[in-house]
Structures are given as structure tokens and as C-alpha cells.
Structure 1
Amino acid sequence: MDGGNTIITEAPAALNVEKRDLAKHPAVQILLPIAFALAVLGLWEFLVDFYQVPKVILPSPLDIYARAVSAWPFLVQHAVPTGTEAAIGFMLATILGITLAVILAYSKWAYAALYPNVIFFQLIPKIALAPLFIVWLGIGSSSRLAFSMFIAFFPVVIATLTGLNSTPPDMLRLCKALTARSWQVFLSVRFPYALPHIFSGLKIAVTFAIIGVIVGEFITAQAGLGYLILFASSQAETALILASIGMLCVVGLVLYGVVAGLEKLILRKYGH
């Protein structure tokens, strides 16, 4: 009886393991989201056609695709400044955020003085501050870059600081016993352990950087996807609005993909 019970118990466990392994298969991870997205688009197309929804309210996916094809040169033209400014703002936020996090991790005085203020500014709705950047820096790209950097800065700081403080104490005691210097501990132990946290913050920050640029383009820009969305809205071209949002998603996916690709390369190098 015991042997039979063991076989019965182990069989469902083996099936669960196989299901988990199947869910992690690269083909499944790629095809399943695509299949779900196609199902949603198909349902969208059916419901719009069935209920005869006016195109000015909600065009069908085929109408949006047709408008995107016809306006493709304009979409690409406006995607370039949006993507460029978002990438620059993200890189500036990454450099400044990691630098400040290192300072906070190694200086108790800096942590006591600055970290509460970082949390305070994190709690402020960032969009409410966008007009101030226009007042301070004008209507050019500098205000959009500054706001993009500002809104993407906080996730990098908090994630990096969390990662630097998550180093196992045993590793730090071992480094101290080996008389390793602070910079050696940082490069060999603390920074490698912090990398997963850092990249988690960077993935959030890259999306925030795009949001910052779009908010700036809504207010001042004469080019960019944010400007194109406002222009299409004034003309009641809902299909063009959704096509511009789709292009914005493409820009976001590209930037996010770059960060995710760097994460895999760097984590593999450090043995994560």
C-alpha cells in the first residue's frame, strides 16, 4: 500500500514539474502572448463590426492598421525625437541615480540627510511638476530631457540602494577578514549582488523616461509622438491617435528590450 501511495503521490508532482518546465519554454513564452494579443484583436474587430461602432469613437484594428500604413513616414519621423529624448533622459537618470545610491550606501550622513527627501519627492505626483520645468528651462528639448530624467531618476536610486544593502553580511565579514578595501568590496561583492535590483529599477525607469518625454511633448513640442497624438485629437482622427500610441509602444518595447538584453549579458558575466 505504501508503495502504491508513493507512486500516486509522485505522479501529480511530476506532472506539475513538467507543466512548469513547459511554461518556461522559449517558444511558449513567445507564442502564448502573441496568441492572446491576436485573440483580443480578433474580439475587438468582431465587436466593433457587430455593434457598428462609429470610427470616430473606436475604429477597428484593421482601420488602425490601414491608417498606420498610410501615415507610416510621419509616425517614424515623430518617433525619432521621442525615442532619442527618452533614451538620453534614461541614460542621465541611470548615471545620476546609481551615483547617488552609491553615496547613500557608503555615507551614513548622506543617507540621513538625503534619503528622506528622496522618498518625499518620490511621493509627489511628477506630472504636476512638468509646467515648472517649462518655466525654468523653456519650451525646447532641454525641458523635456530634464523632466524625463527627473521622473526616471527615483526608481534607479531606490532599486540600486536596495540592491547595495542586500549584500549578505557573511560576504562582507569575509571581505573584512581578508582585509579587502572598500572599492574592492564594492566591485567584487556589493555591486554584483545589487545587479538584479538595479536592472529591476532600470526596467521601470525606462518606461518612466518615455512618459516624461510624452508629457513634455503634450505641453510644448512641435514634433514627437506626443505632439502627433494631440494633433490627431484636434482633428478627431481616432485611428491616427491609436496608431501613434501603437508606435509609442514600439519605441517603448525597443528601449525596454535593450535594457533586458543588457541585463542578460551582464548577469551572465557575473554568474547570476
Structure 2
Amino acid sequence: MTEGFVSPTRKLLWQAGLLALIAAFWQFGPAMFDISPLTLPRLSDSLAAAAGPLTGDGTLVGNALVTLVEVTAAFVIAGVLGIAVGLVIGSIEPVRRVATPLLMAAFAVPLMVLIPLFLVGMGLGISSKIAFGAVYAFFPAVFNTVVGVGSVQETHLSVARAFGLSRLDTMRKVVVRSAARNIMNGLQMSISMAIIAVLSIEMFGSVAGLGYLIQRAGHRMRIDEVYGLILVVLVIAIALLAVVKLLGRAVNVRLEASID
């Protein structure tokens, strides 16, 4: 019974059913429960508000592309640096003991307070958005990599040494392979953090991007447009998470093939 419930087909059906219920309430709930459009506009109104610029000057498409570029660049930078730093920290016990608490303390600081510093230092352009997104997304990547490297069994490392593997081969065939699941979990968290960070700094100070459009719509009291733009962000987030998951599966297959 449990296996049938969590099967991919049934899971997809349950998700589709839940989305249909949410969409139905969103469309008909405001009228049924006398909810003000300033609180919850109808789904059709939100979709129309988001789709409107598509038939005009292409504002939505252009700004969505700006946000997508910023998020992607921030994620790539954070992922590469996070994994590299995590492998170094996790592989050297003294370094791990010293660096891990410092990284945790740094991540405990609300990074949103740093937004003015990035805007003042780097301006309102794309560079400040990428830099802030990369900093925000760096921590999940490095933390999960350190945890993954620390979970490698000593027996596996002993076998690698017994077979005379070099440090590089040991890292590639043993450490990275064992930590792959944690690393990919970290990257999935990183892409989410990159989206949050980029949208936040766009709303705080920007001249382009979805965050800028949301902030502008809010000031104009266009609540239907705000909800519509949130839906666009949701679609982009789901697509990026799906891409990261597919890349993770491809990497796992590649790692298994390299070991064979």
C-alpha cells in the first residue's frame, strides 16, 4: 500500500489534484468568501496581469531573462566555490574543526543586512545581484560538501591507500563519489538560496529583474500583477530545481561509470 502511494504516477496525480484544488479556490474563493482583490485577486486576473506585458513591450520577458541570468551566474559561482572549499575543509581535519564554526557563525548573520553594502559598492546593475546571490548560495554548497566529505568511511580511504591511489584519484573516485548525494543536496539548496537572494536585492534596489517588477507593482497597488509575477518566479524556480536534479543524476551516472 505504501509503495503504491509513493509511486511516481500516483505522486504526480496527487500533486496535480492539489494544484487543481488550489487553482479552483484561487479563482472562485475570493467571490465565495468576499475576499478583497487587494488581498487575493482571482487567479485569472493575476495571470492576465502577468501576461499583459507579453503583448506589449516585452517587459516581463526581458526582466525575467535578467533575473534568470543573475540567478544562474550566482548559482554557478557559489556551486563551484562551495564544492571546492568544502572538499578542502572536509578533507583536512584541523581545518574542518576551525573553519566549520566560523562558517556557521557567518551564515547565522542575516545576510539581507548586507544588501546596502553590495548596492553601494557595486551599483544597481547586474554585478551586485550576482555577487550577493553567490554569497547567499555559497553556504549551503560548502556546508553540505563538508558534511559529505566527513561521512566518507575510513575503510574506503584505507582501501584506496592500499591500492596506491594518488590523492587526486582518491578524491575523485572515493571522496567525491561518497559525498555526491550531500553535494547535490547542497546544490539544490543553493539554487533556492540564489533565487531568494537575487529577488530580494532586486526588490531593494534595481532597475531590472522580476524583483524590480514586483516592487514596482506593489508601489502601484497592482496586487494582481504582484501575484502574477510571483507565479512567474515559481515557474522559474521549479524549472531550475528540475535542471539541478537532472544534472545530479547525470553526475551520479558519470561517477559510477568512472569507478567501473
The reply to whether TM is greater than 0.5 is yes
The 5 Å alignment of 1:136-215 reads: 136-215=121-200
Q: Deviations over 1:32-58 (max 9, x none)?
A: 111101112212333211133232221
Matched, 1:218 2:197: no
Partner secondary structure for residue 189 of structure 2 = helix
Task: Give 2:33's aligned residue.
Answer: 51
The CA distance in 1 between the partners of 2:120 and 2:51, in whole Å, is: 38
SS of aligned partner of 1:180: coil
The alpha carbon displacement at 1:113 in A equals 4.1
Tell me the amino acid that sits aligned with residue 222 of structure 1. V
> What amino acid does structure 2 have at the position aligned with 1:115?
T
Alignment partners' CA distance in 2, 1:105 and 1:219: 36
Shift of 1:167: 1.1
8 Å CA contact 1:92, 1:149 repeated in 2:
yes
Query: For 2:16, which of 4, 13, 34 is the aligned residue?
Result: 34
Name the larger-Rg structure: 1
Q: Tell me if the contact between 2:91 and 2:149 (Cα under 8 Å) persists in the aligned partners.
A: no
Q: Work out whether residues 82 and 138 of structure 2, in 8 Å CA contact, stay in contact via their aligned partners in 1.
A: yes
Q: How many residues align?
A: 254
- In 1, Cα distance between equivalents of 2:61 and 2:182: 34
Q: Matched residue of 1:75: which SS?
A: helix
The match for 2:48 is: 66
The residue type equivalent to 1:176 in the other structure is R
- 1:270 is displaced (CA, Å) by 3.3
Give yes or no for contact 1:140–1:220 (8 Å, CA) kept in 2. Answer: no
- One-letter code aligned to 1:91: V
Q: Output the CA distance in 2 between the equivalents of 1:167 and 1:107.
A: 13
Q: Contact 1:78 / 1:223 at 8 angstroms: preserved in 2?
A: yes
The SS at the match of 2:208 is: coil
After superposition, residues 80-159 of structure 1 pair within 5 angstroms as: 80-159=65-144
Q: TM-score, normalised by structure 2?
A: 0.92
The C-alpha deviation readout for 1:140-175, integer Å capped at 9, x for no partner, is 211111100000000000001111111122211211
Give the structure-1-normalised TM-score: 0.88
CA contact (8 A) 2:4 2:10 kept: yes
| Distance across 2 between alignment mates of 1:49 and 1:268 | 51
What are structure 2's unaligned runs of at least 5 residues? none
Identity of aligned residues (%): 26
- 1:218 is aligned with what amino acid? M
8 A Cα contact 1:75 1:247, kept in partner: no
Distance of 1:211 and 1:176 partners within structure 2: 43
Partners of 2:124 and 2:207 within 8 A in 1: no
Please state how far the C-alpha of 1:219 moved relative to its aligned partner. 2.0
Q: Which moved more, 1:58-67 or 1:110-119?
A: 110-119
